[in-house]
Structure 1
């Protein structure tokens, strides 16, 4: 099997990877590749194989076990995405008790108010960059309020997040992670000193398991880091990608406008069709592993292409068609297995409220016909555009 250099596909692969994934999948569900930034990896492009790989605990998330800790683990601490059981089991148990459906549902009125306020501000202009004016500020405000990050600190947080996730070049990864980590230490210490409060970070500081176990400072810092980054960046692109799909499929947009009872289905189809996470975060084979009939050697990096799995015709018929009436159960947009996204209920809540309210408020919403071509986010992790110019 020859190694496939994804970098040779150029900018077209970043803009629209789906035809390339389809071509690879037609040749087999697993391929040895070089990513566009030159990293050797084994890419899983089939749905069943990807779903199995996401739940396979022989594929480790802990690069410390290889003696190669990732920068965020060395600087910030161990978070849920880069540890394996039993550490993952312990951390997730401590966190899940606070990140409940009840807490998320209680946010509904606040999410609706924030949505309305942002649209009030946007409306007089007759047009805007939907990412900068709406899809970014909504989830960042929600997650910061949920965790208890002061409003005055959110600009600094945005700079760190942009540097880490979208590679805007303003800071190196180490500079961004270090700045973020130092800030979170101060925030946690301030909350410890202030005592009990009605925010998630304060609750996590105070939480104890039945056996008295609690989160250490590095664990708290790493968890807050993960929630702040993952808790907003994916939702930004959930909103903007789904709006873009609707605006480029007028029949589906008309169906949703005619029956907003379809909003749940529209968000789920948006997640399947063009979800915010293109590939799951890195795994490596702790031992030789056979996936889809291909043996992956011990120590090799494994990338599970969520975007490819969700366009697998063996699971979703006519997968390149955006159809808000389709059955989407089992899509991989939030992952699968023990690392299934903890924030999925919050992302879904924000997406449904944001998209429905936007379409209700702006019946003439359309992509700005005079805008420059869209600029796609680099890399193979986050799927989305830097801007989404719209008019109404």
Structure 2
């Protein structure tokens, strides 16, 4: 696979810069793009401009440029979902700069091709789940195991690491929030403890969804561990000392590296933290629309379309639930006394 390179935003042609800035701050009535979408567009256009430069083509939208870009993507070994993301980013800018509609149909055609090919691919998360099956209960058990190991740890550094691992496993098993949002939680600001109960007041950095309410009592001991780290004394005293510091923190009271919590989660489960969102959607699938709504709320997802992406086995679980309901109906019907009579005899 050729090495992927990208032209930085600062080196974009003025026309492209203006288009993307317009997407960041749209006029009234125009579509508003999320920060994540803007980053995706910048990445796609940066890739496009890199390919143009490599091919000796001018830095603009053109048939030749688009053709070279598609050839590059097809030869890159990238997944079709990634190729679709790149073409969709170029399409968004093409629309913003008013690239001719007839010419944009070429881009839309390429998007449609990658979209159809993507639908035939087996998603990475399905392959990973098949190779390494896991449930929410497994994650909970891993949290218990890490906590037990923490109390038996020989060094304070090892003990701290295991309490952090136990805490993130327990928290995500009941609250499938984005790992970036969890990493940034601050005591007294995003998460607080009052009258022996922990409460969450967090806004998702990606969707803007607001989590606001008490956390389940079963999480209390794991979150308390992140304050005490196995020491004796008053939780209230230590909590007061930690006000304004990260929930998941270094020994100096600073934020952990963005890689630390994902590493700890994967070390315990073999999966990245993102898997909990799929597991929650699948676990609640058998409860129908109500379950789907609960999963979406727990994951902080703002649309049904986005939530659907996270379902892997949900359709099978719903089908099993449907069969169970039908079986109960059939059983009741079969147990009713027969009203059929043959020759005066009831059968």
Q: How would you bin the TM-score normalised by the shorter chain? A: under 0.3
Relative contact order, higher structure (CA 8 A, sep 6+):
1
Say which one has the larger Rg. 2
TM-score by length of 2: 0.26
Q: Greater helix percent: which structure? A: 2
